Amino acid sequence: MKLFDVYPLFDINIVSGKGCYTYDTEGTEYLDLYGGHAVISVGHTHPYYTEKLTEQAHKLIFYSNSVINDLQIKLAEKLGRISGYDDYSLFLINSGAEANENALKLASFHTGKKKVIAFRKAFHGRTSAAVKVTDNPKIVAPINDTFEVVFPELNDFETVEQEINKGDVCAVIIEGIQGVGGIQIPNPGFLQKIRQLCTRHGVVLILDEVQSGYGRSGKFFAHQHAGIRPDIITMAKGMGNGFPVGGLIISPMFTPSYGLLGTTFGGNHLACTAASAVLDIIENENLIENAARVGSYLKTELEKLPQIKEVRGEGLMLGLVFEQPSTELRKKLLYEQKVFTGASGTNVIRLLPPLILTTQQAEEFIKRLKKIL
């Protein structure tokens, strides 16, 4: 059987990783400024993470959500404390799209409405509801008509206000930092005004922190730079450092009831162990501070390079904007300089390294980038 061919692939077979480095079948070492798309938060094969996962794998990998799983309870406690959302509740699922799908459902159940405000160039995933709130021409038109969606420009408060004034909106969904859309940060003032507007009209504010969350921006969640508190926060990617796990952090204004949401695999024992180990490492190694510090260093140094038009982003979620398409540059970085990076649109190179990136590794990246510029 062959693979269903939906991904353009680099012909490199990565077989192992350590910290901020990955290795192919030939043993060639690559500096990883991509982190498997913002997934590798605490570094490849972190010894503490690997030990915890291995230990749990020998005990129990999965049972069911019909019995008590105290790993979920402990994870919720830890996450509440570290994220600053102690008074919210946690619902665990397996991916970012699923997190957003459940968030939209909750918003719709809560308000009895079905219109959603998402933003131009947003990306929220590939379930039918999540695809619907994604204004990306590359993604095939949605088949699900549960939600009606409008797409104002990011930071266009007036249009958001006009739509909400119509009275039929159930939710505003917005990324902490737009990832796929080219690393765009919503203005803090815009987020604060939306927060007030949603509260006034009983509209649910969903912050998609799937890519920008878990310390990446230099705060636990990117929206915390704006000092707001959403009604639902969705997360995945960095949460499990490669083990598939996602979740929703849900405000106490939502009342749970049996059957309201559900999942088979969500919150399984191994996923909870992975998510819990990631939080321990983030805390013990001060990785949020590290992301802020090394990210700020990277940004300042990259801004000095005349070939780069603009450096966007926060912490270790950065976009290098070029005048011309960056595809060739990215290929050269990979094949000639052995550095993995991401792309975002045609002109933006996206950096999403593990949060353990050191200043020396950041310097090394800049050195290699300069060689090809």
Contact positions vs ligand PMP (CB under 6 A):
95-97, 100, 123-126, 175, 179-180, 208, 210-211, 236
Q: How many helices (H) and strands (E) does the chain have?
A: 11, 15
DSSP code of 158? H
The least distance separating ligand PMP from the CB of residue 63, rounded to whole angstroms, comes to 24
Distance CA 352, CA 366 (A): 15
Nearer to ligand PMP, 180 or 357 (CB): 180
The least distance separating ligand PMP from the CB of residue 359, rounded to whole angstroms, comes to 27
**DSSP assignment string, 59-111:** H-S---TTS--HHHHHHHHHHHHHHT-TTSEEEEESSHHHHHHHHHHHHHHHH
Nearer to ligand PMP, 128 or 372 (CB): 128
The least distance separating ligand PMP from the CB of residue 181, rounded to whole angstroms, comes to 9
Q: How many CB atoms lie within 10 A of CB 62?
A: 12
Nearer to ligand PMP, 342 or 369 (CB): 342
The least distance separating ligand PMP from the CB of residue 216, rounded to whole angstroms, comes to 11
Helix (H, G, I), strand (E, B), or coil: what is residue 12? coil
Distance CA 42, CA 28 (A): 22
Distance CA 336, CA 316 (A): 23
Distance CA 134, CA 243 (A): 25
Q: How many CB atoms lie within 10 A of CB 291?
A: 27
Nearer to ligand PMP, 96 or 152 (CB): 96
Nearer to ligand PMP, 174 or 302 (CB): 174
Closest-by-Cβ residue to ligand PMP is 96
The phi, psi pair for 359, rounded to 5°, reads -60, -40
**Paired residues of 105 in beta bridges:** none
Nearer to ligand PMP, 173 or 279 (CB): 173
The least distance separating ligand PMP from the CB of residue 98, rounded to whole angstroms, comes to 7
The least distance separating ligand PMP from the CB of residue 186, rounded to whole angstroms, comes to 12
> Residue 201, exposed/middle/buried by CB under 10 A (0-12, 13-18, 19+)?
middle
Nearer to ligand PMP, 175 or 314 (CB): 175
